[in-house]
Chain A
Amino acid sequence: MKVKFVETLKSYGIILAFLLICVGLSILSPVFFTLNNIINVIRQTSIYGIMAVGMTFVILTGGIDLSVGSVLAVSGAICAGMLKAGNPIILVLLATLGVGVGCGLVTGLFVTKARITPFVVTLGMMSIARGLALIYTRGYPISGFSPTFRLIGGGYILGIPIPIIIFLVVVIIAYIVLMQTKLGRYTYAIGGNEETVRLSGINSDFFKTLVYVISGSTAALSALILTSRLNSAEPVAGTGYELDVIAAVVIGGASLSGGRGSVWGTFIGALLIGVINNGMNLLGISPYFQQVVKGLIIIGAVWLDQLRAKEE
């Protein structure tokens, strides 16, 4: 009986924490629990929430992708450049996603074929993609796009901001992929025990490469939303996003050693980070201090994960 209670608390602890923080903030700030603010929080969350969904795949295999912020920047820059050059929007959208896919593919191949640890490869890619963004934009922002393009970040469907809809769709697709497809089941299996997967005659390298492609493409998708919403692409966009993204996945209960985690966990984790960011802003806490808090949250989340792992 008691064991069950503890188990439940562990599974739903994150939701409980989320609710507690929301209640706390509602009391502390009159603005927090207003429709406007809530929509605002979720819309902000969607940018890195989408990336966190991609990151969930990577972390489930036991890897990590530090390059997401930079990939966002370079995809956004190329998107903006192509729009400015007058290319049709559809082509721009595909090309932007293509950039993300390309970055992910390169990362994935280095991880699987050259057998370099993901940490190092993506650290390298983080610098490469950022550099490419700076080279492409010569260091300046590219701004001012057509109203059609700006709908992606600023439009509404049935009164719901489009970024939120995209976020939800990505979450749902990811859930289906993880639960109902080969790719999804192998993702969990590789993180649980890659040797077993390989000895089962599965081309684990292929699927491992694929998760980095997924992570790259979600970064590009977020780049589209961010560029559209800000009406500008900056070469320094997305700096430090990897922190929020990884934090969201880890807070959502994924294990950094792989094999355990879920999209729903990541979804709540992303919202939690969004709420904390928003709450600290509302309470007038300095951005410098916010960084400290976020760092502590990440360490805390991983620590919790260690404690859980030890029990197993």
Chain B
Amino acid sequence: MDDRVLWMKGIRKSFPGVQALKSVDFDLARGEVHALVGENGAGKSTLMKILSGLYKADEGEIWLRGRKLSSRGIKAMIDAGVSVIYQELNLMRQLSVAENIFIGREPMRYSGLIDWKKMYLDVQRILEPFNVDINPKTKIYMLSPAYQQVVEIAKALSLNSDILVMDEPTAPLTGNEVEKLFEIIRNLRNSGVSIIYISHRLEEIPQIADRVTVLRDGEKILTRPLGELTTAEIIRHMVGRTLTEQYPKISVPLGKEILHVENLTKKGYCKDVSFSVRRGEIVGFTGLVGAGRTEIMQTIYGRMKKDSGSIYIDGQEVQIHSTCDAVKKGIGLIPEERKHQGLVLGLSVFDNMAMTILDKESVLGFLKKKKLDISVKKLVELMEIKTPSTKQLVRYLSGGNQQKIILAKWFLRHCKVYIFDEPTRGIDVGAKVEIYKLMQNLAKEGAGVIMVSSELPEILKMSDRIEVVFSGSIVKEFQREEADSEKVMEYALGLHEHESQQEPRAAGAET
């Protein structure tokens, strides 16, 4: 009766403190390319992880080819013909093309040895329709990213998948390769394969997709045929949210310049980055995931070695060769990955918070325990960190409280410049407001604050100035009053890149 091969119905999923998907419907027709777009954190990957069987939905049904799916799990979904091609390809780089395609189901001879001949022939047959020159014996790491992607697709097809999810497939590809991939996608579509196409590169979508679905804040905003929408409209639907959250922004008189970065360059990560931060100022850094914001910060902070460029603090040039230097010069970094970079989960609240000041609060290596204890307890109270005691392991605290502990450890150190990398990711609305307040307080007390964030609302509402990063460079600076979400998004998506930066970027890609 209908040609829907996939129908996800009323999918809900929540994580502690966050409702990631709020009753989302999604369907896919046979032989259709269906684009799925949305800002970072809109719920695209959660939805796809549910489809791939990695996550279990809290509520909702999945129908495949008119039948309701009963068993879930990764294996079940693969058996049902759904394959996901992830952004980071899941290939074993040291193995050959053939081994990757046939992993776990290698053709065997009666002797129990692998039947290599048959395997290579089969692979040739599988690769034939792609019209590419790939030797089945080649090791994966010797292939270009585009060919690696072809191998992934071939592997999926050889598993009899007729539903493919492609997550940012063009991200690692050059212009010609993108064309080639589109050709492959069109051929697949014509042969009846259905494809869910996820991409941040909105300009590609009209070229390849039949329909588009926009997600925002875990909700489906719309599903329409592409002919009915312009790119600008898609952007508007992506960002046009109702602002229910609170942003406790107050204007602080700005002081002297406290941090100045000039022509910071790290090959392959950031190029000619210059900006400055004044006392009392919050400077927002935004851009897409992978644009290089975090890398810029890590280079300033000495975690990655810069190739060239200079950093000035309070007008004085400083040499930062390690994180140790950065901290001594008064920079504190609240990193992106709370659990992997900000905390030692198996240690106590005390140990985590005091970590940054042990060198100040010790004599000949021996800690001034009492003094440390008092300052830690005071701050726990002041910041309303909810923990039974300072001896509690941070593993057992909520995300919001964990984030507060990371902030606390830098407050104890009294930094001049605080770099917040995605400070509110994955924490609930209440805790977000508290973090904004703390950030605002730092600015009020005369510190310089850098806030890296993918969440446009907080960038727009909390920043005094906004730097938009694309492809490792700052492509645009907005004053607070001149920024709006559409404009920022256009620059973040690189839509204005063609005007100014086409040449250098193409040259960079060659090397």
Task: List A residues at the B interface (Cβ < 8 Å).
Answer: 180-183, 185-186, 188-189, 192-193, 195-203, 259-260, 312
Instruction: Establish whether residues B345 and A201, one from each chain, have CB atoms under 8 Å apart when the complex forms.
Output: no
Cα distance A196–B339 in the bound complex, in angstroms: 9
Task: List B residues at the A interface (Cβ < 8 Å).
Answer: 301, 303, 322-324, 326-328, 332-333, 335, 340-347, 351, 354-356, 358-359, 362, 365-367, 369, 395, 409
Cα distance A188–B355 in the bound complex, in angstroms: 11
Given A181-B362, A183-B365, A192-B345, answer yes or no on A200-B356 (Cβ-Cβ < 8 Å): yes
Contact of A201 among B328, B342, B395 (CB under 8 A): B328
**A199-B303, A259-B347 provided; 5 other pairs, C-beta below 8 A?**
A180-B366, A196-B341, A196-B343, A201-B332, A202-B324
Instruction: Establish whether residues B365 and A189, one from each chain, have CB atoms under 8 Å apart when the complex forms.
Output: no
Instruction: Establish whether residues B351 and A188, one from each chain, have CB atoms under 8 Å apart when the complex forms.
Output: yes
| Residues in B neighbouring A180, C-beta threshold 8 A | 366-367, 369
Given A185-B358, A200-B356, answer yes or no on A193-B324 (Cβ-Cβ < 8 Å): no
| Residues in B neighbouring A312, C-beta threshold 8 A | 346, 395
| Residues in A neighbouring B347, C-beta threshold 8 A | 188-189, 192, 259
Closest to B298 in A: A199
Instruction: Establish whether residues B323 and A200, one from each chain, have CB atoms under 8 Å apart when the complex forms.
Output: yes
| Residues in B neighbouring A203, C-beta threshold 8 A | 322, 324
Cα distance A196–B335 in the bound complex, in angstroms: 9
| Residues in B neighbouring A201, C-beta threshold 8 A | 323-324, 326-328, 332, 356
Cα distance A183–B359 in the bound complex, in angstroms: 10
**Shortest CB distance B16–A (Å):** 17
Instruction: Establish whether residues B369 and A200, one from each chain, have CB atoms under 8 Å apart when the complex forms.
Output: no
| Residues in B neighbouring A199, C-beta threshold 8 A | 301, 303, 323, 333, 335, 341-342
**Shortest CB distance B348–A (Å):** 10
Closest to B343 in A: A196
Contact of A182 among B323, B335, B362 (CB under 8 A): B362
- Can you sample 10 A-B contacts with CB below 8 Å? A181-B366, A183-B365, A186-B358, A189-B351, A192-B344, A193-B341, A197-B355, A198-B323, A199-B335, A202-B356
Q: For the complex, would chain A's binding face be called helix, strand, loop or mixed by DSSP majority?
A: helix
Closest to A193 in B: B344
| Residues in B neighbouring A259, C-beta threshold 8 A | 344, 346-347
Cα distance A264–B491 in the bound complex, in angstroms: 59
Cα distance A197–B358 in the bound complex, in angstroms: 12
Instruction: Establish whether residues B323 and A181, one from each chain, have CB atoms under 8 Å apart when the complex forms.
Output: no
Closest to B351 in A: A185
Cα distance A180–B351 in the bound complex, in angstroms: 11
**Shortest CB distance A35–B (Å):** 38
Closest to A260 in B: B346
| Residues in A neighbouring B333, C-beta threshold 8 A | 199
Cα distance A198–B254 in the bound complex, in angstroms: 32
**Shortest CB distance B323–A (Å):** 5
Closest to A206 in B: B324
| Residues in A neighbouring B344, C-beta threshold 8 A | 188-189, 192-193, 196-197, 259
**Shortest CB distance B402–A (Å):** 12
Closest to B325 in A: A201
| Residues in A neighbouring B326, C-beta threshold 8 A | 201
Cα distance A183–B409 in the bound complex, in angstroms: 18
Cα distance A193–B366 in the bound complex, in angstroms: 22
Instruction: Establish whether residues B323 and A185, one from each chain, have CB atoms under 8 Å apart when the complex forms.
Output: no
Instruction: Establish whether residues B365 and A193, one from each chain, have CB atoms under 8 Å apart when the complex forms.
Output: no
Contact of B409 among A186, A188, A200 (CB under 8 A): A200
Instruction: Establish whether residues B366 and A200, one from each chain, have CB atoms under 8 Å apart when the complex forms.
Output: no
Report which residue of A185, A201, A259, A260 has the largest number of chain B beta carbons within 10 angstroms of its beta carbon: A201
Instruction: Establish whether residues B356 and A182, one from each chain, have CB atoms under 8 Å apart when the complex forms.
Output: no
Cα distance A183–B328 in the bound complex, in angstroms: 18
| Residues in B neighbouring A197, C-beta threshold 8 A | 344, 355
Closest to B332 in A: A201
**Shortest CB distance A59–B (Å):** 14
Contact of B342 among A182, A185, A196 (CB under 8 A): A196
**Shortest CB distance A213–B (Å):** 14
Given A181-B367, A182-B358, A189-B351, answer yes or no on A198-B303 (Cβ-Cβ < 8 Å): yes
Closest to B354 in A: A185
Instruction: Establish whether residues B340 and A193, one from each chain, have CB atoms under 8 Å apart when the complex forms.
Output: yes
For the complex of A and B, 3 pairs with smallest distance between CB atoms: A201-B327, A192-B344, A193-B344
| Residues in A neighbouring B332, C-beta threshold 8 A | 201
| Residues in A neighbouring B322, C-beta threshold 8 A | 203
| Residues in A neighbouring B362, C-beta threshold 8 A | 181-182
Instruction: Establish whether residues B359 and A182, one from each chain, have CB atoms under 8 Å apart when the complex forms.
Output: yes
**Shortest CB distance A240–B (Å):** 32
Instruction: Establish whether residues A182 and B365, one from each chain, have CB atoms under 8 Å apart when the complex forms.
Output: yes
Contact of B367 among A185, A192, A196, A198 (CB under 8 A): A185
Closest to B333 in A: A199
| Residues in A neighbouring B359, C-beta threshold 8 A | 182, 202
Instruction: Establish whether residues A193 and B303, one from each chain, have CB atoms under 8 Å apart when the complex forms.
Output: no
**Shortest CB distance B412–A (Å):** 11
Cα distance A199–B334 in the bound complex, in angstroms: 9
Closest to A186 in B: B358
| Residues in B neighbouring A189, C-beta threshold 8 A | 344, 347, 351, 355
Cα distance A185–B367 in the bound complex, in angstroms: 10
